[in-house]
């Protein structure tokens, strides 16, 4: 089994590519992006994986359902209510059913399994936790914003001083995760944002303890090429956590969790000449990590399976 820690729009590309090459895959999804909006429970990262594997994801946007309409959003805007979060009409079905099931007492993991079966998905998708906790942005004016609000409503334009995982101390990993991690051949950290996509998973206390014990079979794929984020605000968020927003800063951040990291070939010279001597316990691998086409998704997957599956 290959287990993938996933969060953000880049994760589905890796999951898609790997599934084409290897069928026994489990995805542990970030849940700290989850939030309540108009009484509905929204799970952006889980839904992106479900829609992506179900071949209904709007690939151009990187979220939502392709060909969706936005009549609900349009009308709610017309009556003067908040309309900053992109709820499509078909997408609403997921949120309404999920909220109904939560209110009936079902766990998020059970609900996610329900949707994977409804969409006939080929992989297992598990929320990192059934408990609700949130990634929150602390602004320079000391205001707390949910990550979705900061990035979508305010378009990431508000100066920030810190990022926290609200309520993470009271949250536990989903029950099956311990067994899954121990039974995995490799555990891959997708090239998502290290602070807001992967960070909320590995900072769960119970997960953190397990993953450090299993670090020899953890593979981290860099979200940076030439010290720049492939997509999204990784650099901004790393700075907010006082982490150098560079390849070296990324290696520092992940070094306690892994002994294998994959970087772009473009970064091979810098890492070999300036960095790797300071990290004798990490094996550095170099290939083409950009996944902007299906063939490149598949190519990276083949590289991982050929070079790292039997750690």
Number of H helices, E strands in the chain: 13, 14
Give me the residue spans of the domains in the chain. Answer: 33-127, 134-166, 171-308
CA proximity to 235, closest of 224, 220, 221, 222: 224
How does pLDDT run across 185-234, given as a tens digit for each residue?
A: 999 999 999 999 999 999 999 999 999 999 999 999 999 999 999 988 88
Sheet order of strands, 283-287 included: 124-127, 25-29, 2-6, 186-189, 218-221, 260-264, 283-287
CATH superfamily of the domain spanning 33-127: CofD-like domain (1.10.8.240)
| Whole-number pLDDT of residue 135 | 97
Residue 59 near residue 68 (C-beta atoms within 8 A): no
How does residue 174 score in pLDDT terms, banded at 50, 70 and 90? very high
Does 10 have pLDDT greater than 90? no
Least confident of 61-65, 97-101, 132-136: 61-65
Does 311 have pLDDT greater than 80? no
Angle at 73 between CA 156 and CA 200, to 5 degrees: 40
**3.40.50.10680, 3.40.50.300, 3.60.15.10, 3.30.300.30: which CATH number matches 171-308?**
3.40.50.10680
| Whole-number pLDDT of residue 232 | 83
Task: Report residue 227 CA to chain centroid gap.
Answer: 20
Angle at 293 between CA 270 and CA 291, to 5 degrees: 30
Residues 6+ apart with CB under 8 A from 23: 122
Neighbours of 155 (CB within 10 A): 9
Does 105 have pLDDT greater than 80? yes
- CA count, 13 A, side-chain hemisphere, 227: 10
Query: In percent, how much of the chain has pLDDT > 70?
Result: 100
CA proximity to 188, closest of 59, 53, 15, 55: 15
User: What predicted TM-score, i.e. pTM, was given to this entire model?
Assistant: 0.95
| Whole-number pLDDT of residue 234 | 87
List beta partners, residue 135.
Answer: 165
Cα–Cα distance for residue pair 167/132, rounded to 1 Å: 8
Angle at 90 between CA 201 and CA 231, to 5 degrees: 40
| Whole-number pLDDT of residue 293 | 92
Q: Which helix (H) or strand (E) holds 262?
A: strand 260-264
Does 8 have pLDDT greater than 80? no
Does 26 have pLDDT greater than 90? yes
Helix (H, G, I), strand (E, B), or coil: what is residue 87? coil
Helix (H, G, I), strand (E, B), or coil: what is residue 193? coil
Angle between helix axes 44-53 and 11-21 (nearest 10 degrees) is: 40
Query: In percent, how much of the chain has pLDDT > 90?
Result: 90
How does pLDDT run across 258-301, given as a tens digit for each residue?
A: 999 999 999 999 999 999 999 999 999 999 999 999 999 999 99
Take residue 214 and report the two structure tokens written for it: 């299993």
């Amino acid at each position: 089994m290959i287990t993938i820690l996933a969060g953000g729009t880049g994760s589905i590309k890796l999951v898609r590519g790997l599934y084409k090459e290897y069928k026994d895959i489990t995805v542990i999804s970030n849940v700290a992006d989850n939030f309540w909006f108009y009484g509905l429970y929204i799970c952006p990262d889980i839904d992106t994986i479900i829609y992506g594997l179900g071949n209904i994801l709007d690939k151009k946007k990187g979220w939502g359902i392709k060909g969706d309409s936005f009549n609900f959003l349009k009308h709610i805007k017309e009556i003067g209510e908040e309309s900053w979060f992109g709820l499509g009409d078909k997408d609403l079905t997921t949120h309404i059913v999920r909220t109904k099931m939560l209110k009936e007492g079902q766990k998020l993991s059970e609900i996610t399994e329900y949707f994977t079966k409804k969409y006939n998905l080929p992989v297992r998708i598990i929320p990192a936790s059934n408990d609700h906790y949130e990634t929150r942005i602390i602004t320079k004016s000391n205001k707390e914003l949910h990550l979705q609000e900061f990035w979508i409503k305010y378009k990431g334009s508000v100066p920030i001083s810190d990022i926290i995982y609200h309520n993470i101390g009271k949250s536990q990993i989903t029950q099956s995760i311990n067994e899954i991690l121990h039974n995995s051949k490799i555990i891959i950290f997708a090239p998502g944002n290290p602070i807001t996509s992967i960070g909320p998973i590995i900072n769960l206390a119970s997960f953190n303890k397990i993953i450090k014990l299993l670090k020899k079979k953890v593979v981290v794929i860099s979200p940076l090429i030439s010290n720049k984020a492939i997509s999204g605000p990784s650099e901004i968020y790393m700075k907010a956590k006082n982490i150098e927003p560079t390849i070296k800063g990324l290696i520092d951040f992940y070094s306690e969790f892994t002994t294998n990291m994959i970087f772009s070939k473009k970064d091979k010279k810098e890492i070999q000449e300036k960095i790797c001597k300071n990290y004798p316990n990490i094996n550095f691998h170099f290939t083409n990590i950009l996944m902007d086409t299906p063939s490149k998704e598949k190519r990276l997957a083949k590289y991982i399976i050929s070079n790292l599956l039997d750690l």
